[in-house]
């Protein structure tokens, strides 16, 4: 303060000095407030983000990238609520109300989801586009206290930028009809499983289970086995002939005598036919030339993909679905980033979106030519198909297998190529064949020859499922052709083949049993329970499976009735369409089922599965060893159990000394997934293993052991186990 100011203050009265001081304090406070306000406004509050919840962590990053910085994407990692495992968890006195609990171990995840939801601008539920996905969204809405009537459910059939962004343009409410259909299936399966399984535990052995679809699958396998056992082969003969017109040879097969078709039952019938052939000259009686069209196959559904993957690339059902899930959730394509490569893989529809059809038409016209392109695909869904979303197809037809091969592992590439080829073929024109059928005869003995040649390859340009061309030489009625030789062959009718995974799925689908999502877990369950085993990739029932099936057939006939199960699937579909109340469907099933349960409880007698003598003694205590039936099949165990815990695996020697140690015997072994391989019985002292059957001889070129290997087209061949050695022997039929 200056001297002048000090002098002025001395002249002021006390009230004047007080007024000046108050003003100064007010001005100082106002300045501080303004400064603080400026600092506050300079620190902008972070804007709220929209929260998106998906099922799989693999999808979260990709979708977050597509949606941008205003969205945060997290994963629920599947279901977060379910029925208790320890009890039935169904309130029968309260209209079959399910009693849900949070899944054990998901507490921290649920807490994190609640925190994220609380600070989010809006919460979107983006679980998978099926019944299970809808139920997951409903459970999330319950736990996060979201309004079920809010438009917060987004659904996309493929994980591509356009599909994801379009889904967020028009979110919808949770579809309670879909949720109720899932609840009905869950409650129905729980009632069947948790009612019959305890009876099996008490009457047969612990660890057994029963289920709606798995019981039908088991019965189909056992019925087929009974057909095979009851089958009586019948003898029949064929006569194939080699003929030539000029210098060109062709094949023809015996048809009949004197204008009528004739079956050859035995060698006497063959001798009678051959006795009538007096010379090598045969007359051409009839020549039919036609043009035949073959339409492209429809794009894949879940079951047709599982069947083709088994038949064409040797994938088990479980593996097919696992790899398909990876392709759907997305693969890192280098500079192009993480992208979903196929549409949703659980579908029973063959429908294709107009956008995908148009892209395919342009791609086909550009690569193969306009005449190969077919605008609009045929759609012929199976009866009872839900048609909830499209067929399985590539997300972009322009992602050709060869263009993205370096980003995929070998299994992903195999399955993606299968899907891509099938889809592109389905959008291509029909293949056209020139066919020719010729009847030739001598003295009333008729042979028929068939030939065909591709005139226009059409869809076969990308999906060749046709036999090789087999054209006949040009012939006209009245021509003479020469017989080169005739080859009679004896045959016997064969029993129906055991079911493979592919043929069992096809049969279940044709009968309307189960749905796309149920096939893989069903086949896995009946193997885990040791009701069936795979032998040469075919299902073979076990003794345990036959016991369980016998009890269910006798006391719960509806459970294993194909027609009844298919009708129940239809009722669940009615619930999904909003045409039926799920509680009424359950009630109509449960009342008669309850009576069957009561009868089974009182009438089923305890079944003793007796131990078989093994024929040798325990090497630890000297007591006899027995063959027991365990959860994973039969095994050797000491009869002195529980005093002695000695057990041994049941092995099968192949009569070959181990090529590595020269002391042990090579035996058959199986992996945890039931795949057969060969190893030394001295393991772990000797670690010799081989996927192929050792034959007990050494390679004359390299000295390594020889193995019998399956080859394409059928048959086997002895080759060197050393892949760098090219030694091989003649093909074995």
- Taking only the tens place, the pLDDT of each residue in 523-539 is 999 998 889 988 878 99
**What is the predicted pLDDT for the residue at 675?**
76
Look up the CATH number of the domain holding residue 76: 3.40.50.140
**Identity of the highest mean pLDDT range in 95-109, 366-380, 649-663:** 95-109
pLDDT of residue 638: 95
Structure tokens at 592: 């008669």
Find the mean pLDDT for residues 409-436: 96
d(CA 491, CA 493): 7
Q: Is 287 left (phi over 0), alpha (psi -120 to 50) or beta?
A: beta
| DSSP codes, 656-702 | EE-TTTSSSEEEEEE-TT--EEEEETTTTT---EESSEEEEEE-TTT
Q: For the chain, what is the mean pLDDT?
A: 88
Taking residues 558-565, report their average pLDDT: 92
Q: pLDDT tier at 375 (50, 70, 90 boundaries)?
A: low
Determine contact, residues 706/728, Cβ cutoff 8 Å. no
What is the C-alpha separation between 269 and 489, in angstroms, rounded? 12
Angle (deg, nearest 10), helices 212-230 and 543-555: 110
Same-domain check for residues 445 and 414? no
pLDDT in the model for residue 374? 82
Q: For the residues 421-445, what does the mean pLDDT come to? A: 96
Domain assignment of residue 553, given as a range: 201-229+496-603
CA separation for the pair 199, 210 (Å, rounded): 10
Q: 24: pLDDT confidence band, cut at 50, 70 and 90?
A: low
Residue 3 pLDDT greater than 50, yes or no: no
Residue 209 lies in a domain: yes
CA distance 528 to 537: 16
The token pair that represents 213 in the structure block: 């679809």
Query: Are residues 518 and 625 located together in one domain of the fold?
Result: no
pLDDT band (50, 70, 90) for residue 341: very high
Do 565 and 513 form a contact (C-beta atoms < 8 A)? yes
Q: In the prediction, which pLDDT does 5 show?
A: 44
| pLDDT at 686 (0 to 100) | 92
* Residues 397 and 446 occupy one common structural domain: no
pLDDT digits (tens, 9 = 90+) for 44-102: 555 689 999 999 888 888 898 899 889 999 999 999 999 999 899 999 999 999 999 99
- Cβ burial of 582 (10 Å; 0-12, 13-18, 19+) is buried
Is residue 85 domain-shared with residue 36, that is, in the same domain?
A: no
Same domain, 83 and 162: yes
Residue 287 lies in a domain: yes
- What would the mean pLDDT of 424-439 be, rounded to a whole number? 95
Q: Are residues 69 and 161 in the same domain?
A: yes
Does residue 315 sit within a domain? yes
Per-residue confidence at 167, pLDDT binned at 50, 70, 90? very high
Count: domains in the chain: 6
Q: Which pairing describes strands 81-83 and 71-75: parallel, antiparallel, or unpaired? A: unpaired
The pLDDT, as a whole number, for residue 53 is 96
pLDDT score, position 517: 82
Closest by Cα among 383, 382, 310 to 350? 382
Residue 584 domain flag:
yes
- Looking at the fold, whether 337 and 421 belong to one and the same domain comes out as yes
Question: Domain check: are 413 and 341 in the same one?
Answer: yes
List, in order, residues 6 or more apart from 94 with CB less than 8 Å away.
Answer: none
Q: Which string of DSSP letters, residue by residue, matches 122-177? A: -EEE---SSHHHHHHHHHHHHHTT--TTSS-B---SS-SHHHHHHHHHS-B---HH
Which ranges constitute the DSSP H helices of 204-314?
Answer: 212-230, 267-275, 302-312
Instruction: Confirm whether 692 is domain-assigned.
Output: no
Q: Any idea which of 39-53, 293-307, 345-359, 711-725 has the lowest mean pLDDT?
A: 39-53
The sheet that has 71-75: what strands, in order across it?
71-75, 50-54, 123-125
Q: What is the pLDDT of residue 27?
A: 55
Which tokens go with 357? 């059809």
Catalytic residue among 71, 255, 328, 344: 344
Q: Average pLDDT of 580-596?
A: 95
- 123-125 and 235-245 beta bridge pairing: unpaired
CATH number for the domain spanning 273: value is 2.70.20.10
- Report the residue count for the chain: 733
Whether pTM exceeds 0.85: no
**Is 6's pLDDT higher than 90?**
no
Given a cut of 50, whether residue 26 has pLDDT beyond it is: no
Contact between 213 and 116 under an 8 Å Cβ cutoff? The reply is: no
Q: Are residues 418 and 314 in the same domain?
A: yes
- Per DSSP (E only), the strands in 360-444 are 431-442
- On whether both 378 and 488 belong to a single domain, the answer is no
Average pLDDT over residues 301-319: 93
Q: What are phi and psi of 372, to 5 degrees?
A: -85, -15
The verdict on whether 372 is a catalytic residue reads no
CATH label of the domain that carries residue 550:
1.10.460.10
What percent of the chain is predicted at pLDDT more than 70?
90
Same-domain status, 291 and 310: no
Per-residue pLDDT tens over the stretch 467-483: 666 889 999 999 999 99
Residue 430's pLDDT band, with cuts at 50, 70 and 90, is: very high
- Flag the least confident range among 185-194, 526-535, 544-553: 526-535
| Cis amide prior to 36 (ω within 30 degrees) | no
CA distances in angstroms from 158 to 308, 329, 408, 424, listed in the order given: 22, 8, 18, 17
Domain assignment present for residue 675? The answer is no
Percent of residues, the chain, with pLDDT higher than 90: 69
Taking the C-alpha atoms of residue 407 and residue 331, their distance in angstroms, rounded to an integer, is: 7
Both structure tokens of 528: 């885990």
Peptide bond just before 684 cis, omega within 30 deg? yes
- Is the pLDDT confidence value at 606 over 60? yes
Q: Choose among 662, 690, 696: nearest CA to 676.
A: 690
Is 690 part of a structural domain of the chain? no
Kindly state whether residues 138 and 215 are assigned to the same domain.
Answer: no
In angstroms, the first-to-last Cα distance of the chain is 117
Q: Is residue 413 part of a domain?
A: yes
Q: What is the mean pLDDT of residues 602-621?
A: 87
pLDDT score of 249 more than 90: yes
């Amino acid at each position: 303060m200056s001297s002048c100011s000090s002098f002025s203050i001395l002249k002021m009265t006390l009230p004047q000095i007080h007024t000046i001081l108050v003003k100064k304090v007010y001005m100082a406070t106002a300045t501080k407030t303004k400064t603080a306000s400026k600092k506050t406004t300079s620190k902008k509050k972070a804007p709220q983000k929209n929260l998106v919840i998906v099922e799989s962590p693999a999808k979260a990053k990709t979708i977050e990238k597509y949606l941008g910085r205003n969205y945060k994407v997290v994963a629920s990692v599947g279901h977060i609520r379910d029925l208790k495992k320890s009890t039935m968890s169904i309130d029968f006195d309260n209209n079959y109300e399910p009693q849900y609990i949070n899944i054990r171990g998901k507490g921290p995840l649920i807490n994190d989801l609640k925190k994220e939801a609380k600070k989010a601008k809006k919460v979107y539920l983006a679980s998978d586009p099926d019944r299970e996905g809808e139920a997951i969204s409903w459970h999330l809405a319950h736990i996060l206290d979201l309004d079920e009537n809010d438009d917060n459910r987004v659904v996309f059939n493929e994980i591509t930028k356009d599909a994801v962004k379009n889904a967020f343009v028009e979110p919808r409410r949770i579809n309670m009809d879909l949720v109720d259909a899932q609840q009905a299936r869950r409650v129905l399966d729980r009632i069947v499983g948790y009612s019959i399984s305890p009876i099996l535990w008490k009457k047969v052995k612990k660890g057994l289970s029963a289920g709606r679809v798995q019981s039908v699958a088991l019965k189909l396998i056992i019925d087929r086995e009974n057909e095979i056992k009851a089958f009586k082969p019948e003898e029949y003969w064929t006569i194939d002939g080699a003929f030539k017109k000029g210098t060109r040879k062709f094949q023809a097969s015996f048809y009949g005598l004197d204008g009528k078709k004739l079956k050859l039952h035995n060698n006497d019938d063959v001798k009678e036919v051959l006795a009538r052939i007096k010379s090598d000259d045969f007359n051409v009686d009839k020549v039919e030339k036609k043009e035949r069209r073959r339409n492209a196959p429809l794009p894949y559904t879940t079951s047709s993909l599982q069947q083709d993957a088994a038949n064409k690339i040797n994938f088990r059902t479980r593996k097919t679905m696992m790899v398909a899930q990876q392709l759907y959730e997305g693969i890192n394509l280098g500079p192009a980033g993480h992208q979903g490569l196929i549409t949703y893989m659980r579908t029973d529809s063959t429908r294709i979106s107009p956008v995908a059809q148009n892209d395919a038409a342009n791609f086909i016209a550009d690569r193969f030519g306009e005449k190969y392109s077919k605008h609009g695909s045929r759609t012929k869904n199976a009866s009872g198909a839900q048609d909830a979303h499209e067929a399985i197809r590539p997300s972009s037809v322009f992602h050709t297998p060869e263009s993205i091969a370096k980003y995929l592992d070998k299994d992903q590439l195999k399955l993606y190529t299968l899907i891509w080829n099938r889809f592109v073929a389905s959008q291509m024109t029909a293949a056209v064949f020139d066919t020719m059928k010729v009847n030739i005869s001598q003295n009333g003995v008729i042979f028929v020859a068939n030939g065909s040649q591709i005139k226009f390859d059409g869809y076969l340009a990308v999906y060749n499922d046709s036999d090789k061309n087999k054209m006949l030489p040009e012939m006209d009625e009245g021509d003479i052709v020469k017989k080169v030789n005739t080859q009679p062959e004896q045959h016997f009718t064969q029993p129906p083949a055991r079911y493979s995974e592919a043929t069992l799925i096809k049969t279940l689908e044709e009968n309307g049993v189960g749905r796309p999502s149920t096939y893989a877990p069903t086949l896995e369950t009946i193997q885990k329970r040791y009701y069936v085993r795979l032998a040469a990739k075919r299902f073979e029932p076990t003794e345990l499976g036959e016991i369980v099936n016998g009890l269910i057939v006798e006391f719960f006939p509806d459970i294993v009735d194909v027609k009844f199960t298919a009708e129940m699937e239809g009722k669940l579909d009615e619930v999904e369409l909003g045409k039926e109340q799920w509680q009424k469907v359950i009630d109509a099933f449960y009342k008669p089922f309850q009576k069957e349960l009561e009868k089974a409880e009182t009438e089923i007698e305890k079944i003793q599965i007796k131990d078989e003598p093994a024929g040798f003694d325990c090497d630890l205590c000297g007591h006899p060893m027995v063959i027991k039936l365990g959860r994973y099949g039969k095994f050797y165990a000491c009869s002195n159990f529980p005093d002695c815990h000695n057990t041994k695996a049941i092995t099968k020697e192949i009569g070959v000394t181990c090529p590595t140690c020269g002391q042990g015997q090579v035996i058959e072994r199986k992996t945890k997934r039931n795949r057969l391989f060969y190893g030394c019985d001295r393991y772990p002292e000797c670690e010799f293993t081989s996927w192929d059957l050792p034959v007990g001889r050494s390679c004359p070129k390299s000295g390594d052991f020889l193995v019998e290997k399956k080859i394409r087209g059928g048959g086997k061949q002895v080759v060197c186990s050393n892949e760098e050695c090219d030694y091989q022997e003649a093909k074995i039929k």
